[in-house]
Structure 1
Amino acid sequence: MFGHGDVGFFDRIAPLYDAFMPPASAEDLRAGLAFAHRPVERVVDLGGGTGRASRTLQEAGLDPVVFDYSAGMLRRAGEAGLPGVRADAATLPVRDGSLDAVVVTDALHHFPEPEAAIGEVARALAPGGVLVIREFDPTTRRGRALATLESVAGMDSQFFGAERLVGLLGDAGLRGHVVDPGFGYTVVGVKPTRPERGPANGDASEGTASTEERGR
């Protein structure tokens, strides 16, 4: 109903979006970025809209760039002084290995091709880089209600449970971690810094630390 990635809806509500949406959680973003095995400098806020997550990242001393398909949302980000690029999440206009981190805050379920988008992020991340996804779990009561509401509103939303999303990250070659489970959850994918080694050689793989060991 609203076109590619529900872009029509977001173009319409862009002028009012920030009045109704709370800022992105600094704690959630810090917990995810802490999984990086490299300095985090080159950051993309994918599906970043008006820059909710980007403003939080700026407060943490980072200089993110907003990537979004909605021209209306990007216009609002630009008015707030945030750099933006109109881009399809499934075909990112960046070189292989050129990013240290990508954050996707409350947006993955609107991507028309979420698996392709995750694959593109994996391509774009440098070794040791991280993909931090904040999403809503459709297996929870509130998650089911949200999914129903967006469907009734005419959106093409596709929600994933946390473990399912970890599986998609693994399919793309990223090591997935559930950082913060629940209705609103955080999942992190880490790009390996070296080829995986099997258990037969006795080497522990990098980036497989538990939630308790990293990100807190």
Structure 2
Amino acid sequence: MNHDHDEVRAFFAARAADWDARFPDDGPAYAAAVADLGLRPGDAVLDAGCGTGRALPELRAAVGEAGAVIGVDLTPAMLEAAVRAGRQEDGLLTVADVSRLPLRDGVLDAVFAAGLISHLPDPAAGLSELARVVRPGGLLALFHPVGRAALAARKGRQITPGDLRAEPNLRPLLARAGWEMTSYTDVDTRFLALAVRTPGDRRS
């Protein structure tokens, strides 16, 4: 498990400095995904695996000054890049493992997670931990600024049936972790799965 975390941290640490420059056109896609999450003024929201904090200004705008925005990432270099970009103005940034969050049960209204799920060593455990910190009826957005096919093509690969983010795989994975998927979009220009935190503890 720690070995996986070390690999993830090394991967993103090597790319942190020029991450935003490599993907300069993703801003509107982030804004649209945050809008679809349906946050309200005063909400408390977590950006899980926030990277350089690209979603933080949009999340802050959605919840307003009365709301709370927290960004967590496993890679200190990513958070340092977020600070250089001034994004600590929009949320509290902290180094943390998404599968062991330093938050109380049910304290959040929503979680935004861009490109997170494919980097979790144990996706089921990570999604369960996100469910733990969100109140019943709270929201989850699993987002990527390009769809699965476009992302695979970018990496010279093809989608496989076992892909975690395929709807037939993701829906039951979310359900076991305490989430009910409410919408699923996978087109070249975006991947967005929205889910609601189910009442009670349905986690395995």
TM-score (norm 1): 0.73
After TM superposition, list the pairs within 5 Å mapping 1:108-147 onto structure 2: 108-135=117-144, 138=148, 140=149, 142-146=150-154
Aligned pairs, number: 182
Q: CA deviation at 1:122?
A: 0.7
Q: Which runs of 5+ in 2 are unaligned?
A: 158-162
Asked if 2 retains the 8 angstrom alpha-carbon contact of 1:137 and 1:162, the reply is: no
CA distance in 1, matches of 2:17, 2:170: 31
CA distance in 1, matches of 2:87, 2:191: 29
Which position in structure 1 is the counterpart of 2:160?
A: none
Q: Tell me the percent identity.
A: 30
TM-score (norm 2): 0.77
Which position in structure 1 is the counterpart of 2:193?
A: 187
Q: CA deviation at 1:178?
A: 2.2
After TM superposition, list the pairs within 5 Å mapping 1:19-168 onto structure 2: 19-21=21-23, 22-23=26-27, 24-33=29-38, 41-60=43-62, 61=64, 63-79=68-84, 80-82=86-88, 83-135=92-144, 138=148, 140=149, 142-146=150-154, 148=156, 159-168=164-173
Residue 195 to residue 14, structure 1, CA distance change in 2 (3 Å):
closer
Letter of the 1:68 counterpart: D
Letter of the 1:7 counterpart: R
2:177 aligned residue (162, 165, 172) = 172
CA distance in 1, matches of 2:55, 2:168: 23
CA distance in 2, matches of 1:186, 1:159: 13
Query: Between Structure 1 and Structure 2, whose CA radius of gyration is higher?
Result: 1
Residue 166 to residue 33, structure 1, CA distance change in 2 (3 Å):
farther
Letter of the 2:115 counterpart: D
* Cα deviations by residue, 1:114-166 (Å, 9 ceiling, x for unpaired): 1111000111101211111114654x3x24324556xxxxxxxx752133212
* Cα deviations by residue, 1:85-108 (Å, 9 ceiling, x for unpaired): 111111111111111111001222
SS of the counterpart of 2:97? coil
SS of the counterpart of 2:14? helix
Bigger strand share? 2
Letter of the 2:152 counterpart: R
Letter of the 1:187 counterpart: A
Q: CA deviation at 1:10?
A: 1.1
Letter of the 1:55 counterpart: P
Residue 143 to residue 75, structure 1, CA distance change in 2 (3 Å):
closer
Letter of the 2:15 counterpart: I
Residue 137 to residue 19, structure 1, CA distance change in 2 (3 Å):
closer
CA distance in 1, matches of 2:143, 2:18: 22
Residue 134 to residue 25, structure 1, CA distance change in 2 (3 Å):
same
Between the two structures, name the one with larger relative contact order (CA 8 Å, sep ≥ 6). 1
Q: CA deviation at 1:57?
A: 1.6
Which position in structure 2 is the counterpart of 1:203?
A: none
CA distance in 2, matches of 1:75, 1:104: 19
CA distance in 1, matches of 2:176, 2:45: 23
CA distance in 2, matches of 1:33, 1:162: 21
Alignment partner of 1:16 is 2:18: yes
